[in-house]
A and B are shown apart, each in its own frame.
Chain A
Amino acid sequence: MTFAQVLTPPSVGWIAIAPEIVLGVGAALILLFDVQFKPKKSQLAFATALVLVTAFVFTIVQYDRVQTFNSATTDQVTDLVAQAFPFNLMIVLDSNAVFGRFAMLLVTGLGLAAGWRLFERLGARAAEGLALVLLSAAGFTFMASSTHLMMIFLGLEVGSISLYVLAGITREQPRSEEAAIKYFLLGSVASAVFIYGVALTYAGSGSMNLLEIQGIVSRTVFTRPAVLLIGIALMVVGMGFKVSAAPFHSWAPDVYQGAPGGIVGYMASAAKIGGFAALIRILFTAFPDFASTWGPLVAGIAALSMLLGSTVALVQDDVRRMLAYSGVAHAGFILTGVVAGGAGTSEVWFYLGVYTVQLVGAFGVVAAVAGAASSGASIDSFRGLSKRVPFLAATFSVLLLGMSGLPLTSGFVAKFGVFTEAWQAGYEWLVIVAVLASVIAFFFYLRVIVAMYMEEPVDEAVAMPGLSVRTSLALAALITIVIGVLPGPLLSLAGEASPL
């Protein structure tokens, strides 16, 4: 018996990981290209764009494939299962995964375009930076498509480690370094906690595959080993950390403030997408039977996040810090949809999609105003922005109002969706907390608008940003409004995004 005979080849479905392949290969090529040819920044930009577009195209192909799966008749199903769950059930090609990729690629594109000036200033390290962005994107999309805890963990690490580096990539800035080390230390602790959770879940259930776990758990629903519960708890904590939900949020403000302005939007958005994608996979796919157990827990975290995020954001003087705290609150809002269980998937996805676009746009504006390579962005630098660069002020207002959940923006539809789901699931109190928190949230969003429109300009000159930045910001604002007015298409798309 030769070695090869021992191995049964796995079911391979390249299309299921095609975007990630493109991203990974693209990143590698960019690195090589950089070493070999010392390309100009515009060439790097082109290459990156090409990678993203290609990945996007593959994602569209995937979407088409998923539509075929979804409309398959029963007798076709068996044939399609292998295609839908390639690599021996390691990942899945379902709407959830595709939606996650769409969101992730969109956010990556917008984030890079909006923060492009950072890469122009990075000098020789721009290629590494870009490669890291692409790689981390691949990691987070893996989180969205994995059905295996180890894959989720790997995706998490691929994404997170890249982000640690990106946080510190402007190493000449002391604050950037500080952000990197904080993010790194706390992040690796959180990763350890998560993987410990995986280990205990494995110990408790006997598998790391979410689908198998679900099967095992549902068969023995009366036995609930403590190790399994601790495992769930630790995985929730680990993901809570990634999405910066209170009380695991403390890294976020420091990192978002300290990290380079041009990349922080991507960092914040990508981590949220990956974290939530994995969280809902774990909770909805593996542990729907435990919903009554983790539901209140998630609800508690959600409530704490919303209240803490909103109130502390209220007293911030740095816009990026404020956005970080508001991100804590938003994690809470999204968790409000998570408590509803599988029924809330589409609303959670919708929220994630529109919020991350707003977030990436908002940080893009901050980068344009306060510098793409610098740390921090005092609210004072936004004073009178409407008179200096009306375009930035207007887009920022739209994005901030979108985040605040004002009607006719996508944020409102998103909030409405998760609130409805939570109410439907019986978490009325959580909805009340959520609406009150969103009132508090209005205050700090408006404060920035006050500074931009109602206060006198400061002397600092802000240049009209370049075309790529403008396009990216305009697109983010446009999406916010269009989706706010016509949420139907995206809602339907998200509505399909329930995990297989």
Chain B
Amino acid sequence: MGDTMLTALILVPVVAAVIVMLLPANRKELALPVGFGLSFIPLAIAGYLFFHFETGVAGYQYTQKAVWYEAWGISWNLGVDGISLGLVALSVILVPIALAASTNITDRTKEFVVFTLLLEAGLIGSFLALDLFLFFVFFEAVLVPMYFIIGIWGSERRIYAALKFFIFTAFGSAFLLASIVALSVLHNQQFGAPSFDLRDLMSLDLSLSQSRWLFAGFGIAFAIKVPVFPLHTWLPDAHVQAPTAGSVLLAGVMLKLGTYGLLRFNLNLFPQAAVDAVPIIATLAVIGIIYGAIVAIVQPDLKKLVAYSSVSHLGFIVLGTAALTSAGFQGAVIQNVNHGLTTGALFLLVGMIYERRHTKQIADFGGLAKVMPIFAGLFLFTAFASIGLPGLNGFVGEFLVLIGSYSSIPGFAAVAAFGVILAAIYLLWAYERVFTGVPDKPENQKLVDLTPREIGLMVPLVVLMIVLGLYPKILLDRTAASTEALLDRVEQATTYEVPEPGRLADVFAGITEGDE
């Protein structure tokens, strides 16, 4: 049972997609319910996995490895650890919600459900793959369903956005591909056979320059996916044009491929280069945090605002990764999940209002709290979760990241902390403009508050936001061992030492040492 679990997790959505595809063409109203129902199977599997996950164990669990093509050294090689577990859980949670949020999609519903389910399979596959070839396959394959989701069911400039999304990400993947090729060739040279197994590749003997180049290759791909400033401009376009479900899954899960990749691959494979690159990564992360937030402030479009807020929030995750401390890593891992929940929820909410008013322009709203109190309440709640209000989930990750990064890269952490002010500014100002005041526009006065279905969509997210905010232990327990192991890997492979508390001088020394 255990060893085929992960395979099942990937294949079930695919099978579900096939089932939906085979539904009779004249019963297209069936597609969404069937897809929604089927999407609970991966949720159940992942739930089982999550709660039977052995805490305190650093290695991969539920591993499965089957040779794919021996001569190339590629294999169907899956495993889950603390770093990926949360993301898998996030994926399976958001997909049913995204599907249930898509009742407004009446054109080619079946295809929509199929693409969403395929997207789910691809995303889960990316998080579970321990073989770089397999990872790349999933990493790149997820572009297609998302491309169609944006391109077919998006709004006016959807084609532009879909193409930009695809090409931009594919551009990054190109470097990833070249780097993966290089790794396998190196493995071939050093061990006499090519391999793409992450664990095999970790034992490669890389020269510093090789390690740096490859780090850059992986880094660019993931940086675009995250996205890290200045490679972020595809994101606002994609989000603004994507349908709600697309935005939810894009921001909620897909962007995490980047942050996950940095943690999983860049750090494991090229620890020395990673240590050397800390100043660069941290700089970009901090720029992303501040820049994303500043730019978000004046965005006239709600979705664009949330999109830029993602740039800012994901900066924290990258910063936590660059921190190379226990708290920083844990913060990054948990923030991956948290951001998925809050931003997913924000996009859902924006989608709900867009369905009613067919506009996302902040200027078109005003005083909505009067006519849609439940909506306003949920929005405010989610906004505060996103701002990082303690007690809700956003805080835990951000705080861990900030605290964790301060002990190794204090200057960056201090600047990054400024981002929390800006987050409050852009979200609360947006809330003020959209919800407060008197609803003076006639279109707004007629708006109906959320339906039970819509509230139902939000409930799981809200509950998770509170639970993870107050009791993140369920996640942290599962991640801690893996993040520690990652940190050990970095420490053992390099001269880097995780700063001990109370040795501030050593911290600065550690950073300058890494530069040599």
Contacts and interface: CB of A to CB of B under 8 A. Distances in A.
Interface of A: 386, 401, 406-408, 412, 416-417, 419-420, 423-424, 428, 431-432, 435-436, 438-439, 442-443, 446-447, 449-450, 453-455, 487-488, 491-492, 495
B133 interface: yes
Contacts, number: 85
B181 A443 contact: no
A408 B68 CA distance: 13
Contacts of A495: 71
B167 A443 contact: yes
A453 B151 contact: yes
A419 B181 CA distance: 7
B162 A439 contact: no
Given A431-B181, A446-B162, 9 more contacts: A401-B144, A408-B137, A408-B141, A417-B72, A435-B177, A447-B163, A453-B151, A454-B152, A491-B69
B184 interface: yes
Contact of B174 (A406, A439, A453, A487): A439
Given A419-B181, A423-B182, A491-B72, A442 B138 contact: no
A217 to B, nearest CB: 29
Nearest to B151: A454
B185 A423 contact: yes
Interface string B116-151: 000000000000000001001111110110011001
A420 B141 contact: no
Interface string B232-261: 000000000000000000000000000000
B237 to A, nearest CB: 15
A419 B140 contact: no
A450 B162 contact: yes
B92 to A, nearest CB: 21
- 6 closest cross-chain pairs (CB), A and B: A435-B174, A407-B137, A488-B69, A454-B151, A407-B140, A407-B141
Contact of A406 (B140, B159, B184): B140
Nearest to B71: A495
B181 A420 contact: yes
A435 B136 contact: no
28 contacts: A407-B137, A407-B138, A407-B139, A416-B133, A419-B177, A419-B178, A423-B178, A423-B182, A423-B185, A424-B185, A428-B182, A431-B181, A435-B174, A435-B177, A439-B167, A439-B170, A439-B171, A439-B174, A442-B166, A447-B163, A453-B148, A453-B152, A487-B69, A488-B69, A488-B70, A491-B69, A491-B72, A492-B71
Contacts of A449: 151
B178 to A, nearest CB: 5
B131 to A, nearest CB: 13
Interface in B147-183: 147-148, 151-152, 158-159, 162-163, 166-167, 170-171, 174-175, 177-178, 181-182
B194 interface: yes
Contacts of A428: 178, 182
Contact of B166 (A416, A420, A446, A492): A446
A10 to B, nearest CB: 38
B34 to A, nearest CB: 19
Contact of B147 (A424, A446, A491): A446
Contacts of A423: 178, 181-182, 185
Contacts of A491: 69, 71-72
Contacts of B68: 488
Nearest to A407: B137
A416 B147 CA distance: 22
B232 to A, nearest CB: 18
Interface in B358-392: none
B188 interface: yes
A428 B163 CA distance: 28
A39 B166 CA distance: 51
A496 to B, nearest CB: 11
B240 to A, nearest CB: 16
Contacts of B69: 487-488, 491
Contacts of A438: 170, 174
B394 to A, nearest CB: 34
B194 A420 contact: yes
B186 to A, nearest CB: 9
Nearest to A489: B69
Given A416-B181, A492-B71, A454 B158 contact: yes
B178 A443 contact: no
Contacts of B174: 435-436, 438-439
A358 B139 CA distance: 23
Nearest to A443: B167
Nearest to B171: A439
Contacts of A435: 174-175, 177-178
A416 B71 CA distance: 13
Contacts of B137: 407-408, 412
Nearest to B142: A407
Contacts of A488: 68-70
Contacts of B163: 443, 446-447, 450
A436 B144 CA distance: 19
A438 B181 CA distance: 15
Interface in B169-219: 170-171, 174-175, 177-178, 181-182, 184-185, 188, 194
B72 A406 contact: no
Interface in B42-90: 68-72
Contacts of A454: 151-152, 158-159, 162
Contacts of B185: 420, 423-424
A198 B184 CA distance: 39
Contacts of B177: 416, 419, 435
Contacts of A431: 178, 181
A492 B184 CA distance: 19
Contacts of A416: 133, 177, 181
Contacts of A420: 72, 181, 184-185, 194
B141 A406 contact: yes
